Amino acid sequence: MRTGPLQAGERITLTDPKGRRHSVVLEVGRTFHTTKGGISHDELIGGPEGVVVRSVGGMQFLALRPLLNEFSVTMPRGAAVVYPKDAAQILVAADIFPGARVLEAGVGSGALSLYLLRAIGPAGTLYSYERREDFAAVARRNVTSFLGAEHPAWQVRVGDLVQTIGAEPVDRVVLDMLAPWDCVEAVARVLVPGGVVCCYVATTTQLGRVVDTFRAHGSFTEPEATETTVRGWHAEGLAIRPAHSSTGHTGFLVTTRRLAPGVQAPQRKRRPAPGAYGPDYTGPRPRNLPPHPADAEPGA
């Protein structure tokens, strides 16, 4: 994150008295127009952040550099972003640490990449895979815009993960894509024993399939699936109440850990309910699940 005087070309946040935020990229000679008159960018360029500027019409605005959670939801997008509440859970659930070697697939607009880069620091490495070159370009611009320079620990690789994955061992894997189950075998080859995989998916159908795939693979611990909601609170004098709105469902997280080569996951003690895997189920069947009658050989 940038420090020091505000510079032309960087993004700031102007907040009005009602708490409404406006994301502005500073440019020499430009003016930010409001219903209460304009604010000259030149008043801010070269000065400190945390100042109050007044529009021509007399309205006051607080000028600050955006925090990472603010920047990630206001930056230009090529694809949907991972929201701050989920990014925070990913960093903890996947145990991202300084110096970690992290593989990320599904860069999107670069929001999650920024959180991962901050967590691993300059001593770590982030291998980011993205199928679309246009999304990768947007992500590069957003990361550079927020940091003020390219991050030395970041390697962006354009291509399908399964087809282009490198041979470098990694400590952590974060998958934010439509079909993460297609990548389980590929990431299992490069993830070190004890390493963590964290998948971010949007629907219950995706959730069920990725969990079943990890179980069927047999080289991972029992997957854990979670969902996070955030609710704000209003506190003013004796008026203490929940906010009128909250951040509800955005996605599910599935986390699991890699076992040592040749080691199989312990048998599950709790069996799925009868009918959990019906005759029409075509996905991978966990190895510890008793055979379904529909799987029997004809005439057996």
Domain ranges of the chain: 11-66, 70-266
Given 3-state DSSP classes, what are the helix, strand and coil percentages for the chain, each rounded to the nearest 5? 25, 30, 45
Name the β-bridge partners of 240. 235
For residue 53, give Cα distances in angstroms to 8, 9, 58, 157.
Answer: 17, 19, 9, 42
E strand or H helix at 117: helix 111-120
To the question of whether residue 212 is assigned a binding role by annotation, the answer is: no
Count the Cβ atoms, other than its own, within 10 Å of residue 238: 5
Rounded CA separation 137/152 (Å): 17
Query: Is 182 assigned a ligand-binding role in the annotation?
Result: no
State yes or no: 171 annotated in a binding site: no
Q: Which of 273, 262, 281 is nearest to 212 (CA)?
A: 281
CATH of domain 11-66: 3.10.330.20
130 is in an annotated binding site: yes
- The answer to whether 194 touches 232, Cβ cutoff 8 Å, is no
Could you confirm whether domain 70-266 is CATH 3.40.50.150? yes
Q: Closest by alpha carbon to 126, among 156, 167, 87, 98?
A: 156
The pLDDT profile of the chain, 300 residues, written as one tens digit per residue, is: 678 899 998 889 999 998 889 989 999 999 999 888 999 999 999 999 999 999 988 999 999 999 999 999 888 888 888 999 999 999 999 999 999 999 999 999 999 999 999 999 999 999 999 999 999 999 999 999 899 889 999 999 999 999 999 999 999 999 999 999 999 999 999 999 999 999 999 999 999 999 999 999 999 999 999 999 888 898 999 999 998 877 778 999 999 999 999 888 777 766 666 666 666 655 655 555 555 444 444 444
Query: Do 11-66 and 70-266 share a fold?
Result: no
